[in-house]
Structure 1
Amino acid sequence: MEVKINREIRDYTESLFFGLSLRQFFFSVLAVAAAIGLYFGLRSHFGLETLSWMCILGAAPCAALGFIRYHGMTAEQLLWAYVKSEFLMPRRLVFRSTNMYYEALKGRLHKHEQERMKRND
């Protein structure tokens, strides 16, 4: 008997239906419903081969939403993060270099320059 244990505890998902998590099962059913809807909605307008490709292309995004994980985020979290970063809180990031050595000695350098100016006069 073998028990599979994830390296990261956050990666644990409970299997509910057919080895899928509830989220994956829900989006799989949604994909099947989208394919069936496309089939019955478009069967009078297209041939069987074209219609089959349209059903696949229509169901693929729905199915992918249940399985996509990017940097530990689900598809909805990824979409929300994108909307937040691009539209709700857009910021222009500007790089400004700082010379920490110059900042630390700025007072002393300024004093040294004034002394040199007095000597040259």
Structure 2
Amino acid sequence: MIEIEINQDIRDYKTKLIGPFTTRQVICIILGGVTVVGAYNLLQPYLTSDTATFICMILASPFVLMSGIFEPHGMKMEDFLRASFVSLVLSPTVRKYELENSYNKQLMEERKKKKKKKRKKSKIKAYK
């Protein structure tokens, strides 16, 4: 019997372009392949085969991450990198938060007034 997998939530469904790959994954595979082949052809005369292959693997890694195979916190990689950059670099680590409590402000003003009144009433007589 043929079984078809159906998602519980319609937002989890991703349309497939070629076989099991989505459009985003196909584009990233093509761009990564062109980058790797071009870099390997450029580096082969100057470096050994192992070194050129290692550099090509490093150059292909952003395309693998951008393809959507790895989705941290359910976000696409560019959204995750943008959110990480904002929270780690642009946002302050210690947030300055000042609370303006109007009740506390009035209470402090009344205390100051009472202290001033007490000072005026009390007169100290010095002994001669």
Q: Do they superpose with TM above 0.5?
A: yes
The SS at the match of 1:16 is: strand
Larger Rg: 2
- TM (norm. structure 2) is 0.65
- Work out the percentage of aligned pairs sharing the same amino acid: 20
**1:57 partner letter:** I
Q: 1:118 to 1:16 in 2, by over 3 A?
A: same
RMSD: 3.0
Report the counterpart of residue 22 of structure 1 in structure 2: 23
Tell me whether 1:77 sits opposite 2:76 in the alignment.
no
Query: How many pairs does the alignment contain?
Result: 114
For the structure 1 residues 43 and 106, does the alpha-carbon distance in structure 2 shift closer, same or farther, using more than 3 Å as the test? closer
Deviation at 1:116, TM superposition (A): 4.7
Displacement of 1:119: 3.8
Partner of 2:109: 110
Give, in whole Å, the separation in 2 of the partners of 1:104 and 1:69. 48
Structure 1 runs not aligned, ≥5 long: none
Q: C-alpha separation between the residues in 1 aligned to 2:7 and 2:42?
A: 45
Aligned counterparts, 1:27-106, within 5 A: 27-67=28-68, 68-79=70-81, 85=86, 94-98=95-99, 100=101, 103-106=102-105
Name the TM-score, length of structure 1 as normaliser.
0.68
Q: Structure 2 unaligned segments of length 5 or more: list them.
A: 122-128
Quote the Cα distance in structure 2 between the aligned partners of 1:108 and 1:65. 58
